[in-house]
Amino acid sequence: MKMASAIPFIDQLYISKGWTWCPATLQSNPTLITIIISISCEKGKPRLFKQRLIRVYPLAISHGGFAKRKNVREKTEEFEWEMEFEKIDEVLHVHIRHILGKRIQVAALFDFDDALTRGVVSTITRGKQFGQLYVHGMKQISKDTGHFLKTITTDEIGMFNLIAGEIEDDPVGFPTHFASLARSMVLQLVNKDGTGQNEQYVFGLLDANWEQIILDLFAQKIDKLSIDTCYEEYLSENEAKLLME
């Protein structure tokens, strides 16, 4: 089957996980995963994306529905495609990957710390270049998810934004990996239960040497770094002065 040619104007891609609720019991159904893909692109292009996807893979429409919104000020259109499934549909997701094109200006991944969702994200984003990559909704990044994120990011990234609490495996090496790819980085630390605001906490490590961590990050590719944390004393006044020098 011949694939449709790639659409080069995709601006934003959002992939998130949600649970489908059973109307009869009003409880979450753990066997169904919902992936929501939101795309913002030039006016008139969402319809073209849908047409191309359905032409190469007619069953795509049975996986979910499309919703379209217009942004008059920015002259763009946005649409969401919500899919529910119990297993990876390799054919469908490969077609999505091809249609998205080589580069995605803004990609945001939310709450995907399970093998099924990671499989979908991996298939759709394989070989993509990211202008900006957001990884949010991860209170804890497991060893498997940390390894997965490294495998899908091998090219240069304009900006990497991470919101997380604890990184199970190599909490210092993980942000260092992205510092070797990104020009700028935003790290937002989620408060960990049982820790005090005066602790030098970093993604699961207590009494971390933040001064050395920051120096190591700047030894990589990044030239801009923002750290947002509730741990007010993660750097002493003297350490902050030394870094500014």
Distance, CA of 137 to CA of 145 (rounded, Å): 13
Residue 221 has pLDDT above 90, yes or no: yes
Distance, CA of 61 to CA of 134 (rounded, Å): 28
Mean pLDDT of the residues in the chain: 74
Residue 217 has pLDDT above 80, yes or no: yes
Rounded to two decimals, the pTM is: 0.77
Of 68-82, 122-136, 197-211, least confident by mean pLDDT is 68-82
pLDDT of residue 5: 45
Q: Per-residue b/e over 184-211, b at no fewer than 16 CB within 10 Å? A: bbbbebeebeeeeeebbbbbbbeebebb
Residue 47 or residue 32, greater confidence? 47
Cβ atoms < 10 Å from Cβ of 115: 11
CA-based nearest residue to 212, from 170, 172, 159, 168: 172
Domain 8-99 has CATH 3.30.1360: yes
Q: State mean pLDDT over 40-55.
A: 68
pLDDT of residue 6: 46
Cβ atoms < 10 Å from Cβ of 21: 12
pLDDT of residue 1: 42
Q: State mean pLDDT over 86-115.
A: 78
pLDDT digit string (tens) for 158-192?
999 998 888 888 888 999 999 999 999 999 887 76
pLDDT of residue 111: 73
pLDDT digit string (tens) for 109-155?
887 777 877 888 888 888 888 899 999 877 788 888 888 888 888 88
Residue 84 has pLDDT above 80, yes or no: no
- Residue-range domain boundaries for the chain: 8-99, 128-245
